[in-house]
Each structure stands twice: as C-alpha cells, then as structure tokens.
C-alpha cells in the first residue's frame, strides 16, 4: 500500500507510536514559529524548562499581532521576545517585517519538513508541501527544547481539484467551497491533502491561501504536493536548494475523497458569524456595504495585492466605503511600492496599514455600528472585529476590491476581461529585518529584558483524588477561543499578564464570569459541540486555570484547544450521552468522587450532580502520556519531572 504526502512526512518524522489512525504519535519537529501574542508565554515556558539553546533546525519569532502600541505593554513584550531570541538561538522577525505565516512561507518554509507554530494558521506552510501544524505555546516551547510534538494519527482526506478557475474566481473561493462542503467541524482529526490536475494551475501563494484557511475546518493541517511550481517559487525566493519533490503514491489510500471542479466555482462569501456560512456573491449582489479590509495571512500575497491594485487603478473608492489594505510582508509592500501598484491603491483612496495582522485580530479598523464589512480574512466570529454588531463577510481580494469601488456586494466576474498576475522571476529579497541569534559562546552575556506587564504563568497543582466544583458557566455549541479569551486592541496587550487578562475571560458571553469563577474558587465549565474552535491561544486555557476552572465538560472539543487544556492541567471531559448536557445548570454543585483513579485506570469519569441528585458519566479519553500530564497538573510540571 502506498503513502499519501502527509503520511510520507509523518513516516520520516515519527519518533514514538505507530502510524495507526486514531492513535497517539510523536513527531520530530524541524522548525518552529511563534508570534508575539502567543510568543511571550511560549518563551516564558521555554525559559522555565531551562534549555539553554533551541534544538530545532530553525526557530523564528515574529512580531505581527500586537503592533498597535497604545501603552508600554506591547513594546516591552517585543523587547522581551527579541532578547530571549538573541540568547537562546531563535531568529527574530522585527515588527514591520510582516505577518508570520506570509514571511515564513517566503523565507523559511521547506517542503518535506515539519513545522509547528503557536498560531492556528501555521498550516499556511502546507502550500509549499511542509507538514505545518498549529499548536499551543507550551507545545512549541517543548519542541524548541528538542521534544516531540504529539498528535493523534489523523485520517487523510483527498480533495481532488479538476479543471481551472474562471477569471476573477480565486483560491479563496476554493477554500470557501471546501468549508461549505465540510463545515467548521468537518476537519477535526483529519489532514486535508490536495491532489488532481487542478493543483498545477495554482501558484504557491494560492495554495497557501487554501491550506491557511483549512484551520477553519478544524483540520490538523492541509497540504499540497511539492512540484515544479514549488521549485519556481523557491527559486524566485533565492532558495531553490530547499526544493524537494513530493507527491502521493499512486496507490495511496485515503479515508475520504472530495472532488471539486475549479471551472464550476463562482465567487463566494462566508456570511456572519461563521466561516462555513457560505453564499454565492451573486446572491448578495447589490447589498450596500460600509467597509472593506484587504490583508491577513490568508490573502496578502504579492499576486493578491497586484490584482487588487489592478482593479483599483484609476478609480476611486466609493464615498460610503472605508477601504484599508495591509500587505502581508515587507517583501510584498516593497515590491508594490517599487512597481507603482502601491501608488495606484493610494490614489484610489485605500488606507494603507503596516504589514501586520491589524484588523484581522481587532487591532483597529472596527466597523461602524452594525456595519457591513467585507474582509479577505479567515475568521468572522462574533465580536472579533472589535464591535459586537459588526457584520463580517469573508471574501476574495477580487470581490473585496470590486465591492470597495461600487459600494455594494459586487461579483467580480462582472468586471469583464480577466487579469492574471505574472509571478515574479525573482522576489525582492532583503532579510535585514530578521535578526540572527547570538553565537552560543556569547549567550551568557545577553540579558533578557522584562517589562512590568510580564507576569509568571499560573501554577497548576497535581490532580487530587476527587474534585468538588460548581458549574460556573454553561455555553452552547461552536464556542470559539474568541469567546473564551477575546482579543482586540484593549485585551491583547495583556497576553503576558494572565491575572489581568483573565478578567476578560468569556466576557463576550457573560460579563460576570471572571468574578463568579474567582469567588467560587473551584469550578467546571459546561459547553456544547466543537468547543474551543479557532485560535491556538493557550490563554483560553490559562485564564480559566487562573480563575479556578478544574474541568471543562462539553459535547465535543476542537483539537488545539483540547490539547491546551490538557497542557494547562484542566481536564477535558465529554458527555457520553449528548442529552446529559441538559442535566447540568449554572451553579449546580458537582462532584467527581473518584477522578484520579478513574483517569488512571480507564477513560470515563463519574460526575455526581449534588444539586439534582443525578449521576452522569463523561468520557475522558487520554493517551498514557496525556494521563501522566493530567496527573502532574500540566505539561510544564510533567516536563520538569521527566527531564
Ligand atoms: C487568530 O487568528 O485568532 C490568532 C490571533 O492569530 C490566533 C493566535 C492568538 O490568539 O494569538 C491563532 O490563530 O492561533
Ligand atoms: Fe494574524 Fe489574522 Fe493570520 Fe491570525 S488569522 S495570524 S490574526 S492575520
């Protein structure tokens, strides 16, 4: 039996377990990346592990999220990360150099290698044939220290692309189609592998748009073959030597097979408030809009922005629309400025933002009251834009630019003759914003600079024999990490201060939660299906930990968040029978009388609802390693004990 691309990379990197679907495997990690909003925690954790130098082939820290410096906090955090990097062997991408995933694709990604990143959109690297997975900061810290990264051996889904996109239809429309087919839960426990004749028609950045937003499927990752197009891209980035060919064996076996005919696709939008709420633009055509934002790690490549500039050239943004554009990297921005495309955007009235995440994470550009905002981003969760009533639609750069001019939803296929950007033979390469780490012999002389906002992460204690806790919150299905630990300009600067940020935990759903949980002392959160979808932020586990949450009991979990809970020492419990969800209410007194023994010896936990007198059973399916982590009270304690 042959292997798929993902299986080939896994086979080369497996250091524990066997490639049996559904079982735990440990992978050797070649590269890591962090961004600043998760990075401070990851580096505090790395320091706590006491490993002097990173043991990966390449580790890079990016500053791209917290770039709106309204106080000392973000700038202090940047300095902390910069000095940690210098000391411990990590490359540092300075603010202004661009969004982590875009820059990593351009400058460091390698087909056939493994990458984990403390950001859920790390699968962007799948566009170049790299096995790239989003993880919590602590997992990244462990990988930097040379430890393996553990995942459940996923099922492999083959998405076969046939034909070729019609003019003005975009890679974004392909992934929106996949989201329509599979939903935001459809990728959990799976790797999405692209194949078929249509692959050849897509450039590396287009492929990266698709693998990037595969995060919204809940997938472990997504991956494309590495072929002649990949070689050309690497050559144009001055890195042809990093090329290796990667393709699936003809007799590879897949768990699912989806076929998409590219020539039949039309421009699509993900409507509020979920990336899988898909409608054709033609159906929305003519509706008035208020704002357009172009950028983010999904759609801010050179080709994307050249297309936008072409559409805007010689025209003016509609008077009722605010258009902002954030090019994905310094490389993209410099090339646009040198070839005149930037001038075309500015002349049309675009508000040019720095190369960073910006509005995608609510760092500015929040829409007006109940404003309709078209964004080329990947997430439109409630409140993420910075306003609760903003109506966010996720669209392609083509749809975004056409609509910015007309002031209404506009199907770009109505623009007439198509436009195809030629990929440059040579990208403009200037790595002067990437700081190399100091030599190992000099590391002792480097002082790590810490600002007053940097607080220790919360301590967790080893598991007790029994847990007595009150239900401090009950929430519904599809709770995102943006509900659990909101981002945005006000809250993000507190990412290195768990006591302070925990005051915002779940406030999107219930403003009383932080104080209530603190007062209760020891509590349990109850939730629905796909709990914790979205971001990799481990703050969505660390803040509840700080507030005294001992377990989270839900219908089902999203992958990264479940791993983060285990790493933090919080028990992830799932209802054995979904109807048991109705048997617990807010403030019910719960007892897990035998929890430690049950975890050690099996995969269910008994929960007695002392308020109603009922007893229910919850699943807690942990591997032996996860059980050991849970008993120690989290991965950091476990790593200290075992190293
Ligand atoms: C996001 O897109 O939600 C983020 C912000 O990039 C997060 C990371 C974070 O919360 O810092 C992610 O995707 O993991
Ligand atoms: Fe940044 Fe948005 Fe990409 Fe997250 S999704 S890394 S916030 S650009």
Instruction: Using 50 as the pLDDT threshold, list the residues of the chain that sit under it.
Output: none
395 in Cβ contact with 375 (< 8 Å)? yes
Report pLDDT digits (tens) over 573-615: 999 999 999 999 999 999 999 999 999 999 999 999 999 999 9
213 lines ligand 2 (CB under 6 A): no
Ligand nearest to the CA of residue 124, numbered in listed order: 2
Residue 240: Cβ within 10 Å count: 12
The CA dihedral of 45, 49, 50, 55, to the nearest 10 degrees, is: -90
118 lines ligand 1 (CB under 6 A): no
* Structure-block tokens of residue 74: 């973000």
626 lines ligand 1 (CB under 6 A): no
Distance CA 392, CA 372 (A): 6
- Ligand 1: atom nearest CA of 560 is 14
Q: Which pLDDT value is given to residue 413?
A: 97
297 lines ligand 2 (CB under 6 A): yes
564 lines ligand 1 (CB under 6 A): no
Residues 6+ apart with CB under 8 A from 57: 30, 31, 113
- Ligand 1: atom nearest CA of 119 is 14
Ligand nearest to the CA of residue 140, numbered in listed order: 1
41 lines ligand 2 (CB under 6 A): no
DSSP E strand boundaries for 282-326? 291-294, 322-325
101 CA distance to ligand 2 middle (Å)? 8
37 lines ligand 1 (CB under 6 A): yes
Q: Is the dihedral of CA 158, 162, 166, 167 positive or negative?
A: positive
73 in Cβ contact with 409 (< 8 Å)? no
**Going by CA atoms, what residue is nearest to atom 4 of ligand 1?**
535
555 lines ligand 1 (CB under 6 A): no
536 lines ligand 1 (CB under 6 A): yes
Which element (helix H / strand E) includes 140?
helix 137-144
At residue 288, the 3 state secondary structure works out as: strand
Report pLDDT digits (tens) over 164-204: 999 999 999 999 999 999 999 999 999 999 999 999 999 99
At residue 440, the 3 state secondary structure works out as: helix
Q: Report how far apart, in Å, the C-alpha atoms of 146 and of each of 93, 207, 219, 600 are.
A: 22, 30, 25, 28
Q: Let me know if 425 is exposed, middle or buried by CB neighbors in 10 A (0-12, 13-18, 19+).
A: exposed
- Ligand 2: atom nearest CA of 100 is 6
Q: Which pLDDT value is given to residue 291?
A: 98
State which of 38, 119, 127, 353 you would mutate to test the pocket of ligand 2, scoring each by most atoms of that ligand within 8 A of its C-beta.
Answer: 119
38 lines ligand 1 (CB under 6 A): yes
8 lines ligand 1 (CB under 6 A): no
Angle between helices 137-144 and 559-568 (to 10 degrees): 70
271 CA distance to ligand 1 middle (Å)? 20
Q: Which pLDDT value is given to residue 641?
A: 82
Residue 625: Cβ within 10 Å count: 18
Ligand nearest to the CA of residue 120, numbered in listed order: 1
**Going by CA atoms, what residue is nearest to atom 3 of ligand 1?**
535
311 in Cβ contact with 402 (< 8 Å)? yes
State which of 93, 95, 101 you would mutate to test the pocket of ligand 2, scoring each by most atoms of that ligand within 8 A of its C-beta.
Answer: 101
Q: Annotate 410-431 with DSSP letters as a single string.
A: --GGGG-S---PPPPSS-----
Q: Which pLDDT value is given to residue 460?
A: 84
Distance CA 93, CA 60 (A): 7
Closest CA to 194 of 221, 176, 167, 173: 221
- Ligand 1: atom nearest CA of 361 is 5
208 lines ligand 2 (CB under 6 A): no
Distance CA 218, CA 499 (A): 29
Distance CA 90, CA 457 (A): 22
- Ligand 1: atom nearest CA of 537 is 10
118 CA distance to ligand 1 middle (Å)? 8
The three-point CA angle 586-592-595 to 5° equals: 140
**Going by CA atoms, what residue is nearest to atom 3 of ligand 2?**
297
* Structure-block tokens of residue 323: 């258009």
Report pLDDT digits (tens) over 393-408: 999 999 999 999 999 9
Q: Which pLDDT value is given to residue 300?
A: 98
**Going by CA atoms, what residue is nearest to atom 1 of ligand 1?**
535
Distance CA 62, CA 47 (A): 18
Residue 452: Cβ within 10 Å count: 9
């Amino acid at each position: 039996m042959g292997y798929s691309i993902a299986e080939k990379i896994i086979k080369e990197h497996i250091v524990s377990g066997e490639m049996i679907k559904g079982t735990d495997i440990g992978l050797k990690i070649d590269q890591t990346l962090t961004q600043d909003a998760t990075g401070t925690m990851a580096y505090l954790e790395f320091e706590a592990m006491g490993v002097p130098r990173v043991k990966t082939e390449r580790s890079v820290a990016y500053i791209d999220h917290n770039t709106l410096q309204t106080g000392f906090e973000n700038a202090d955090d940047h300095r902390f990360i910069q000095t940690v990097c210098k000391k411990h062997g990590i490359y540092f991408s300075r603010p202004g150099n661009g969004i982590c995933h875009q820059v990593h694709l351009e400058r460091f990604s390698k087909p056939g290698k493994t990458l984990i990143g403390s950001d859920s959109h790390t699968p962007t690297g799948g566009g170049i044939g790299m096995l790239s997975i989003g993880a919590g900061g602590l997992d990244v810290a462990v990988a930097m220290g040379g430890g393996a990264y553990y995942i459940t051996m996923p099922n492999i889904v083959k998405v076969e692309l046939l034909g070729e996109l019609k003019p003005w239809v975009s890679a974004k429309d392909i992934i929106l189609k996949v989201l329509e087919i599979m939903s935001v839960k459809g990728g959990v426990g799976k790797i999405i592998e692209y194949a078929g004749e249509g692959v050849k028609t897509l450039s590396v950045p287009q492929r990266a748009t698709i693998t990037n937003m595969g995060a919204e499927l809940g997938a472990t990752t997504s991956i494309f073959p590495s072929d002649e197009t990949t070689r050309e891209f690497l050559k144009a980035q001055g890195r042809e030597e990093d090329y290796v060919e990667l393709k699936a064996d003809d007799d590879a076996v897949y768990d699912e097979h989806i076929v998409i005919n590219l020539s039949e696709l039309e421009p699509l939008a993900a409507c509020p408030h979920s990336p899988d709420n898909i409608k054709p633009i033609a159906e929305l055509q003519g509706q008035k809009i208020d704002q357009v934002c172009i950028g983010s790690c999904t759609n801010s490549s050179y080709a994307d922005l050249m297309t936008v500039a072409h559409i805007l050239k010689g025209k003016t943004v509609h008077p009722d629309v605010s258009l902002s554009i954030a090019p994905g990297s310094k490389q993209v921005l410099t090339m646009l400025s040198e070839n005149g495309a930037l001038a075309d955007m500015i002349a049309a009235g675009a508000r040019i933002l720095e190369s960073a995440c910006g509005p995608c994470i609510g760092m500015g550009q929040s829409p007006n009251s109940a404003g309709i905002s078209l964004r080329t981003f990947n997430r439109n969760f409630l409140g993420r834009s910075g306003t609760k009533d903003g109506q966010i639609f996720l669209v392609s750069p083509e749809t975004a630019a056409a609509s910015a001019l007309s002031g209404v939803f506009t199907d770009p296929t109505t623009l007439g003759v198509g436009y195809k950007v030629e990929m440059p033979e040579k990208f403009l390469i200037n790595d002067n914003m990437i700081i190399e780490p100091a030599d190992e012999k000099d590391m002792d002389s480097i002082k790590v600079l810490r600002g007053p906002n940097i607080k220790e992460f919360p301590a967790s204690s080893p598991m007790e024999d029994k847990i007595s806790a009150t239900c401090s919150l009950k929430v519904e299905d599809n709770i995102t990490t943006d509900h659990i630990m909101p981002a945005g300009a006000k809250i993000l600067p507190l990412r290195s201060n768990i006591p302070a940020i925990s005051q915002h935990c779940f406030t999107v759903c219930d403003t009383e939660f932080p104080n209530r949980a603190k007062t209760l002392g020891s509590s349990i959160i109850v939730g629905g299906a796909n709990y914790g979808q979205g971001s990799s932020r481990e703050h969505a586990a660390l803040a509840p930990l700080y507030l005294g949450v001992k377990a989270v009991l839900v219908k089902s979990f999203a992958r990264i968040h479940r791993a983060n809970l285990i790493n933090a020492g919080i028990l992830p419990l799932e209802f054995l029978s979904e109807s048991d969800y109705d048997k617990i209410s807010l403030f019910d007194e719960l007892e897990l009388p035998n929890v430690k023994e049950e975890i050690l010896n099996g995969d269910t936990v008994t929960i007695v609802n002392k308020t109603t007198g009922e007893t229910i059973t919850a699943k807690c399916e942990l591997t032996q390693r996860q059980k050991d982590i849970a008993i120690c009270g989290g991965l950091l304690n476990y790593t200290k004990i075992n190293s």
